[in-house]
Structure 1
Amino acid sequence: MARPRPAAVRLRWSALPWFVRQAPPRVVLLVGLATVWVGLLLITRPLTSVFLLAVYVGLSAVVSGLFDFAVSHGGTWWGRVVGLVWIVVGLAIVIGVGRSLDLLPDIMAALLLLGGLTSFGDAVRGGRVTERVLAAAWGAAQVVFGILAFSWPDATVLVVAVIFGVRTTVFGITLTVRGGRAVFAGRRSAFAAEAAEEEAVSPGTAEAPPVPAGTPAAHLPQTRFTPADAGRILLAVVVVVAAGGAWWIGERLSEGSPVVDAFYDPPADLPAGHGVLLRDDEYVGRAPEGATVRRILYTTQDAHGEPAVASALVISPDEITWTPRPAVLWNHGTTGVARGCAPSLQDGSATKWAIPALDEALAAGWVVVAPDYSGQGAPGTFPYLIGLGEARSALDAVVAADQVVGVWLRDEVAIWGHSQGGHAALWASQIAADYTPQLDVVGTAALAPAVDPYQLASELATPDAPATLSILTAWVVVSYADTYADVDLRGYVRPGARAIVLEMSQRCPSEPGALVSLAAAVGVSEDTSLYVGDLTFGALGRRLEENAATGPWSQPLFVAWGTDDEVIPRDLQEAFVADACTAGTPVHWIVERGSDHRGVMVPGSRVPPALMRWTADRFAGVPASIAGCSFFASSP
C-alpha cells in the first residue's frame, strides 16, 4: 500500500511554504515583506527585473525538485524522475541562464507545461473536490500559457514574469499576514495552528490523512463546504478566465498576421537570367479608379549576385494606348523584414496613401511598378538597407513588368522611393546603367531617404533615441547578419535580448502582434539597451558604410524631407544634398515645414504635386537646372 502523500506536496511551485512553516514568526514576517517587494518588482518591471525572475524561477524549481525527490509521490520511480528534472532545470536557470533571456523563455514554457501536467496528476489522485477542481484549473492554465509561450517567444518573459509576480505577491502577503498576526499575538502556537490551514490562494491537492479502521462516524473527517472551499472555487474561476482570455488574445493576434499564399512560391527550376517574369495574377486589394493592378513574380539577384525571386505590383491605366508608356518605379518604405510584410499582400498598397501622386501618375498615362524587394512575399533574405539587394530586385521588377500581357513600357523610367525606398531608389539609379542597360533612368526622387545606414545606425544607438526605434534597429541588425557571414548577431545584441530581437524581425508593423514586440522592447530598454554599445563598430559598421548611397548620379535628383522627421535626422538629409550639389548633380530639394517622416508623401503635402511636375519634365526631356541646386519650397 502506497504511503500517504504529505499535504506539502500539493504543487511543485508551492513547496516553499512547507519549509517556512516551522520558522519563527519574525522570520516569516520579514520573508513575507521581502517576497511582496520582489513580486511587485516583477509586476511593475517584468523585463528589467529578469535576473530576479530567473533566480526566483530557478530556486523554486530546485526547492520543489528536492522535495519531490525526497518524498517521490509515495515512493514511485517516476516521482523521483520528475524531482530530478526540476532540480536540473532549476540549477541550469540559476547557473547557466540566470542573466539571460535567450533560453529562459523556452525553459519557462517547458516548466509551465510540466507544471500543468503534474497538476493534472494531482487532480486525479484524490483529495477534496474543490482541491481537485482547482488543481485541474491550474493545470489547464499552465498548459495554455506554456503553449502561448512557445508561440510568442518575445512575449513569454513579459507574460510569465507578470504571472510569477502576481503569484509571488500573493504568497508574500500570505506570509506577511501570518507572521504579523503571530508576532503581534505573541503566541507561537497560534501561528503554527494557522499555518496548518489550507492555502486558498495556492492550487493543490492535499490528501486527507488515512482513517483507521473502525473509527466511529462522529470522528470521521468533516466534509462540509468551508470558506477555504469557496476560495478554491473562486480562484479556479479566475484562473480559467485568465487562461481563456490569454488564449483568445493569442488567437486574435495570430489572425491579424498576413498570410503568404502559394502565388509567391517559386518554381523548383528557375530560368536563366534576371528580370524574367515567372507568373502574374490579379491583385486582391483596392485598385485606383480607372486602373488595373496585377501582382507579378520574377527572377532577380540578391546582394551577392546569386539567383533570387521577388514580387511586385504593376499598376497600369485602363485607357487603351497604341504607344508604350513611361514607367515610374516606386520603392516602398519600411514595412518590416519578414515575408508577410510584403506590400503586395496588403489591401491598401495601390492607393494614393501608399504611393504619392499615384492617381495623377495614372492620369498622365504612366505605369507604376511597385516591388516588394526579394525576401518579402517571395522566400529569401530581405535586403533591408542593403543597396545591391534592394536595387537589383527593384530594377528587375520593371523589366519583368514589360512582359505582362497588356503592359507595354518605354525604356524611360523615373525612380521614386520613400525612407528605405529612398535608399533603394538611389542605389537603383547608381547601378542601372550596368545592371539593366535596357532601361533609361531619367531621374531619381528620394523622399525622406535613409541615405547613409552607417550614420543612421549611429543616431539610433544614442542614449536618447526612442525605445520604439529599437524595432527598426532589430530589422537592420538581423538583416545584415542574415546577409553577411562576417556580421555575427551575438556581437551586437545583448545575450538576454536575442530572442526579443529575433522575434521583432518576424513581425510587421501593420499586424497586431507588433504591439507585443513594442511592449517587450520598451520594457527591456527602460533601464538598458537591447544592443551592445555602438552598432557601427566591427564588421557591421564596415558593412553599413558599404551600403551608403554615395553616387555618382548621372541623372537629376529630387529630395524632400520634413522638419519634424522622427526617424531620419534632418542633418543627414542636408549633408546628402550638399554633397550631391558639390559633385555637380542637379538637385531639387524641398523641406516641408511641420511634416514628419511619412507626412511628406501623403495627400495634402506640397511634395507630391511638386514631384509630379518634376517627373513630367524628366519624361518630356526638359533639362534640369544644375547651378544652385534649385530650391523651390519653404525653408525650415
Structure 2
Amino acid sequence: MARTGFLSRFPLGRLHARLPGWMRIAVAIVAIVLGAVIVIRPTSALDTLALLLGGGMILTGVLDLTGRADDDAERRWWQIPLAFAWFAAGTFVLLWPALTVRIVAGLTGVLLLISGLLTVAAAFRRGKGWDARIADAAFGVTGLIFGVLALFWPDITLLVVAVVFGGWLIMQGITDLWKAVRTRRVRRADDAPAAPHRWGRTALALVSVAAAVATAVVTMPLREGSTVVDEFYAAPRDIPDTAGHLVRAEEFTRDVPMGARGWRILYTTTGVDDEIRVASALVVVPEGDERWPVVDWNHGTTGFAQHCAPSLQSRPFWSGTMYILKKVIAEGWAVVAPDYIGLGTEGPHPYLMGEPSAHASLDAVRAAWELDDARLSRSTVVWGHSQGGGAALWTGAVAGAYAPQVWVRGVAALAPAADPVGLVENVTDVTGGSIFASFAFAAFSQIYPDVTYGEYIRPGATTIVRAMAQRCLTDPGTVVSVLASLGMSRDPDIFAEDPTEGALGEDLEENTPPAWVAAPVFVGQGAADSVISAATQNASVARMCAAGQTVDYHLYAGYEHAQIMEGYSPLIEDLFAWTHARFDGEQAGTECTRTDE
C-alpha cells in the first residue's frame, strides 16, 4: 500500500495522486519537445523566444505537480510553492514578452538555483535508497550549475538562457517520462516489489550532471575577456595643453616584424568637445638611419569598449586588418597606427565620428615625430580600412587646417565607411551586423545627448545591444553576441525608430566625410563586400568626383570586406604602386578613374 504524504493533504496533492499515468506521460513528452525546440531554435525572434520560455516555465510547474510518479516524491512539501513560482514566472514572461533579458535570466537562474538546492536537500532525507539519494543529488547539482550559468554569464542574452533552460526542461521531461512509464509497468506486475530500485533514473541524473559540467567547461573560453587595460594608458595629471605632443612612450615588440623597431605611445589630441584628450598609438619603423616616410594607418573596427584598442590585442595589427605590415616595412616605410580616442584610453570612443578620428590620426603622426629614434619624415600617406577608411578621408579633409605640418601626399580609403547613414541603416541586414550597429549606437548615445536607447532601440533588444557594445571583435565571447543578434533574424531591426531619421539621422549625416579632400584619393572596394556594398561605394565616389575630387577608384570582383586587405589581394599591388607614386612626388591625374579588376 502506498504511503500518503504531505501533498495528499491538499486538493492539488489529491489531484496529483489521481492523475492518470497517460497524462503524466503526455506532459513529460510535451516538456521534451518544447525543450528541444528551445535548444534547437535559440535564435528565434526575441518575442517568440520569450513565449517559448514562458510556456516552458509553466510546463516546469506542471511537472513539479504531476510528474513525480513515485511515493517518495509525494513527501516533498516544497513542490507546491516551487510549482507556483514557476507558474508565476512563466505567466509574467508570457504577459510581458518585451521585458528585458536581464529579468528573464534572473527569473530562470533563481528558480533553477532554488529547485537545485531543494533537490539536493531532499537527497539527505531518511528512508531513501542509495539510488534515490544519488539521483536527487545529481539532479540538484544540475540545477545549480544551470542556474549559475543563467545568472552570471557576463554577456547576458536570451540565447544563453534559452540553451540552459531548454536543456534543463529536456532532462526533466526525460526523467519524468522514465518514471511514469516505469511506474505503470510496476503497477501492472502482480508480483512487483513494494519499493523497486530505480537505477535507470539514477543513470539519467548522472548523465544530466555530465551534460551540465560539459556545458560549463565548453563555454568557459567564451566567458573570458580578451584584454586588460594596463597603466600605460592612464593619463598623468599634467599633460601638454596642446594637441599632437608625446606624453609617454615605451618599446613595443608584440607583432613587430623582424628588421623593425616598435613603440607604443600616449599623446595629446583634440576630442569631440574640443578639449585636450589623450589617445594611444603604435609606431613601427624599419631598422636603419634613414628618414622614413610615414604610412598613417587608420584601423578597421575592433570594438567600442576601452579594452578593444588594437595595441592591447595579442595581434595588434591583424586585429585592425593591417595584414601586410611586413610588406610595408620591407618597402622602407614607417607605420603610425592610432588606436583612436577611447580605445585603450578613457572613452567614450567616437566610433564613426569624423573629426575626432581625424584629429587622433594626425596628432599620432605629430607626436611620433618626437620619438628621436624613429627618424620619421614629414611626408605622409594616409591609409584606412572600413571604419578607418572613413577616418582616412576625414584626415585628408581636415589636415590642411588642423595640422598643416603633416604633409599629406595622398589618402587611400579601403572599403571606407564613407556613408555612415547608409551603413547604420543597412548593417542589421548583414549576418552579425547588429554588433556593428551596437558599437555605433553606443558611441552616438554617449556623445550626443539627443540620441537615447529609449527612443531608438526596441525594448526587447536593449540589453542585447548594450551587451554587444562591450565586446571586441576579437573577444572569445563575441560568438555569443553574434548568435544573439542572429536571434533577431526573423525581425532583424534592433531599432524601434528609423535610425536615419530624427536626431540620430542628423548626427550620422554630420559625420559623412567631406567630398573634397585636397589630396589625391585612392579607393579600393571589394565587389562582393557584404558589409559596405559596392553600390554604396559607387555612390560615395560619384559624390566626390562631382565635387571635383580626384579619385582613383578600383573595384575588385569576388573580394569581400576584409579579404581585400589580404596579402594575396590584387589591391595590395595597386595600393603599393599608388603610394610609391605619392612618396616619389609624381603628379596624380586630374580626373576620376575607375578600374574593374
Q: Do these two structures clear the TM 0.5 threshold for a shared fold by scoring above it? A: yes
Alignment of 1:318-357 (within 5 A): 318-321=287-290, 324-350=291-317, 354-355=321-322
% identity of equivalent residues: 37
Specify the alignment match of 1:455 in structure 2. 422
Counting matched residue pairs gives: 579
Specify the alignment match of 2:138 in structure 1. 137
Specify the alignment match of 1:503 in structure 2. 467
The residue identity in structure 2 corresponding to 1:298 is: Y
Distance of 1:8 and 1:361 partners within structure 2: 80
SS in 1 for 2:366: helix
Q: Please say if 1:44 is aligned against 2:45.
A: no
Specify the alignment match of 2:263 in structure 1. 294
SS in 2 for 1:577: helix
Distance of 2:141 and 2:424 partners within structure 1: 45
| Residue 280 of structure 1: how far off its partner (Å) | 1.7
Q: Give the counterpart of 1:518 among 482, 486, 492.
A: 482
The answer to whether the 8 A contact 1:16-1:60 is kept is no
Specify the alignment match of 1:165 in structure 2. 166
Alignment of 1:60-139 (within 5 A): 92-96=92-96, 100-126=100-126, 127-139=128-140
SS in 1 for 2:525: strand
Q: Please say if 1:241 is aligned against 2:210.
A: yes
5+ long unaligned stretches in structure 1: 10-14, 68-72, 183-188, 195-220
1:102 to 1:36, Cα distance in 2 relative to 1, 3 A: same
The C-alpha deviation readout for 1:502-551, integer Å capped at 9, x for no partner, is: 22222222232122222222233245544436332222222211111123
Q: Please say if 1:250 is aligned against 2:219.
A: yes
The C-alpha deviation readout for 1:45-82, integer Å capped at 9, x for no partner, is: 23424233342355468779999xxxxx9999x99998
Distance of 2:318 and 2:91 partners within structure 1: 56
Specify the alignment match of 1:303 in structure 2. 272
Alignment of 1:348-497 (within 5 A): 348-350=315-317, 354-355=321-322, 358-461=325-428, 465-497=429-461
Q: When the two structures are superposed, what TM-score results if normalisation uses the length of structure 2?
A: 0.84
The C-alpha deviation readout for 1:464-505, integer Å capped at 9, x for no partner, is: x33322222222222222222211123333222222222222
SS in 2 for 1:548: coil
The answer to whether the 8 A contact 2:28-2:63 is kept is no
Specify the alignment match of 1:146 in structure 2. 147
Specify the alignment match of 1:22 in structure 2. 18
5+ long unaligned stretches in structure 2: 67-73
SS in 1 for 2:343: coil
Alignment of 1:602-613 (within 5 A): 602-613=566-577
The residue identity in structure 1 corresponding to 2:205 is: A
SS in 2 for 1:311: strand
The answer to whether the 8 A contact 1:298-1:310 is kept is yes
Distance of 2:19 and 2:85 partners within structure 1: 28
The residue identity in structure 1 corresponding to 2:348 is: T
Q: When the two structures are superposed, what TM-score results if normalisation uses the length of structure 1?
A: 0.80
1:285 to 1:526, Cα distance in 2 relative to 1, 3 A: farther
The answer to whether the 8 A contact 1:297-1:309 is kept is yes
The C-alpha deviation readout for 1:300-342, integer Å capped at 9, x for no partner, is: 2332334433211101111013xx4332110011122223322
The answer to whether the 8 A contact 2:525-2:537 is kept is yes
1:585 to 1:38, Cα distance in 2 relative to 1, 3 A: same
Distance of 2:286 and 2:553 partners within structure 1: 29
SS in 2 for 1:481: helix
The answer to whether the 8 A contact 2:285-2:292 is kept is no
Distance of 2:195 and 2:21 partners within structure 1: 31
1:409 to 1:115, Cα distance in 2 relative to 1, 3 A: same
The answer to whether the 8 A contact 2:351-2:440 is kept is yes
State which drifts further: 374-383 or 49-58: 49-58
Q: Please say if 1:584 is aligned against 2:548.
A: yes
The answer to whether the 8 A contact 1:342-1:377 is kept is yes
Distance of 2:8 and 2:341 partners within structure 1: 59
Distance of 2:237 and 2:114 partners within structure 1: 42
SS in 1 for 2:123: helix
Distance of 1:8 and 1:252 partners within structure 2: 47
